[in-house]
Amino acid sequence: MCGIIGYVGEKEALPILLDGLRRLEYRGYDSAGVAVAGKKGVKTARAIGKVAVLASRCERKTLSGMAGIGHTRWATHGKPATRNTHPHTDCTKSFFIAHNGIIENHEELRTELTKKRHIFKSETDSEIIAHLIEEEYRDAQNLEKAVQFALLRLRGTYGLAVMPNVLPGKIIAARMGAPIAIGLGEGENFVASDAVPLLPHTRTVLYLEDGEMAVVTAKGHAVRTLQNKLVTRGAEMIEWSADNTQKGGFPHFTLKEIREGPEVVRNTLRGRLIMENGLANLGGLQNITQSLHNAKRIIIVGCGTALHAARVGEYMIEEYAGIPVEVESASEFRYRKPVLDKETLVIAISQSGETADTLEAVREAKRKGTMTLGVTNAVGSSIARETDAGIYNHAGPEVSVLSTKAYISQLVVLVLLTMHLGRERQMSLSAGKRIAKELEELPKKIEKIFAQEKEIKKLAKKYAKYEHLLYLGRKYNFATAFEGALKVKEASYIHAEGCGAGEMKHGFIALIDKNFPTIAITPETSVYDKMLSNIQEIKARGGRVLAVATEGDRRIMRLADDALYIPKTLEMLSPILAVVPLQLFAYYLTLERRLDPDRPRNLAKSVTVE
């Protein structure tokens, strides 16, 4: 979603802002802009398209100053156009704002302000914030109070940076439902929508919570609630470095992050396996040990890729821990009336920890007194802070819009959680040790899959001509089919359908012909023979089949047209291996269609608004 960067200090702001915006490109955007406060007031530059276009435009202007804000916009209210690009200002050009989120009562506020002779220049809901601050400043004659009073009138979500022309050298940041981080440096401070653009400058970060407002200057910062209560919460250290957010010699972040899979598994497991006892040591669960022991039902919520991970977790936990599990789309969870009680555990999975629907699902569960557990990759994120306990992925920053290594780490975390819950219940010592041993072998097995990269590239060239693909999976790889299809849809814009193999004859089989190939996830598991039957049915109707099969499987090539292979592992771990060739296949399909896999159209990395 939209990105924000702000700087105030002793250096020229523009290079820092442009670099920050480039580092925010992974979030998805259609336009970008900056506002820089100099000796002659605030000057702006805005452009449709890439940050490179904005940078070129800045070269033709004089934007010199030691404070500024920048923004990458993903259109919600108003089409991509220069007039709708942030930063926005008020009638007097006294206040410049960069806003992430949606203001739900913008129409009534716009009507009110128009009656007071405010003139709006954009179609956005965001612009009303600048005019509202202008209006409040007339009465208050105090910047902080004007912003505070304006924010109290807003209904909706915002991550906000406000830079005044009237008091240069100061930025006010605020949060309600959309993340804002304050980066703390020496003689300089920063505001950003996430930590990534801050990493070249500082790893000391203070995350604002909902209803908080920070006044940031070169010399320091002060945080208060919108009710004017002083906040004294300390900052956090980010474990990533700026190098983690660079391509490292790879042509795209997508490929880099797929290839980081083995290291991600190692990092997710590090210090968490007790091999001799077949146990998982999850320190983040220490505070809820008794509640976990008493849990009689689990609901896992997530969106997109996280939802697919949840579906794999459902099979794991039910089979090995014997606890009933339901998987819910977080975007629907709070719109029905979920039956929750104190013996239910709600697990929220989100790479960013800021997914709006997943966060609201957590809040709905907490309102009903239900224990919550977060699985997230972002220390200090909203879900990490608001859940009762948490497990971090330790996957490192994921820059590509396509979630690849985060998905693998989510699956590994769910295996560890299954071991933790299972060993307290029905899982035997031998089963625990067997799972732990196989987990340790996963990095080497993923590396073996990379040896097929040239073959995957050839197959991508072969299948790139098709406009429709069917992904077929069953049991543990039911979700793998949906995840494989999602990656293709996201990056290559090929219409891809995920299908549970048992559902194929309930409609999907009508689509099968020579122009609608099937990717069948067919490792040698308990449902192997049933998957072979599905393939036979597809072949009988003239369909082409690309199988993802277990190494050494000779039967599969008597049926399938093409095959990719994964090493043999436990059935519960097979989705971790099976998704890797599908990620590479989606990547190379995208390149064959001459598209950018890192930045698919219309998509954002973190969906922080509904």
Inside any domain, residue 256: yes
Residue-wise pLDDT for 130-188, tens only, equals 999 999 998 888 999 999 999 999 999 899 999 999 777 899 999 998 889 999 999 99
Residue 244: pLDDT band with limits 50, 70, 90? low
> Which tokens in the block code for residue 256?
């880099």
| Residue 240: per-residue pLDDT | 62
Which amino acid is residue 249, in one-letter code? G
Partner residues linked to 204 by β-bridges = 237
Cα separation, 372 vs 362, whole angstroms: 7
Count of all residues that appear for the chain in the document: 610
605 occurs within a structural domain: no
- Examine residue 21 and state whether it is found in any structural domain, yes or no: yes
Alpha helices of 24-152 — where are they, by DSSP H? 51-59, 106-115, 127-140, 143-152
**pLDDT above 70 for 78:** yes
Q: Does 67 reside within a domain?
A: yes
Is pLDDT of 407 > 90?
A: yes
**Domain that residue 582 falls in:** 453-592
Where among 449, 468, 495 does a domain terminate?
449
- Domain termination residue (choose one: 184, 215, 244): 244
Of the three residues 186, 210, 244, the one that is the final residue of a domain is 244
- For residues 135-147, one letter each, b for 16 or more C-beta atoms within 10 angstroms of the residue's C-beta and e for the rest, the string is bbbeebeebbebb
Cβ–Cβ under 8 Å, residues 406 and 398 = yes
- Nearest-angstrom CA–CA distance, 362 and 284: 17
CATH number at residue 495: 3.40.50.10490
Return the active site residues: 2, 605
Same structural domain, 186 and 262? no
Residue 528 in domain? yes
In the chain the first and final C-alpha atoms are separated, in Å, by: 11
pLDDT in tens, 33-59: 999 998 888 999 999 988 999 998 898
**Rg of the chain (C-alpha set):** 25
For residues 235 and 363, membership in a common domain is answered with no
Q: Name the domain count of the chain.
A: 3
Do 392 and 281 have their domain in common? yes
Residues 343 and 387 in one domain: yes
108 domain residue, yes or no:
yes
Both 474 and 557 in one domain: the answer is yes
Of 41, 250, 228, nearest to 149 by C-alpha is 228
Neighbours of 467 (CB within 10 A): 11
CATH code assigned at 181: 3.60.20.10
What pLDDT score was predicted for residue 283? 86
pLDDT digits (tens, 9 = 90+) for 526-552: 999 999 998 998 988 888 999 999 999
The identity of residue 419, as a single letter, is: M
Scan for tokens 């891809």, then name that residue: 496
For residue 45, the model assigns a pLDDT of: 94
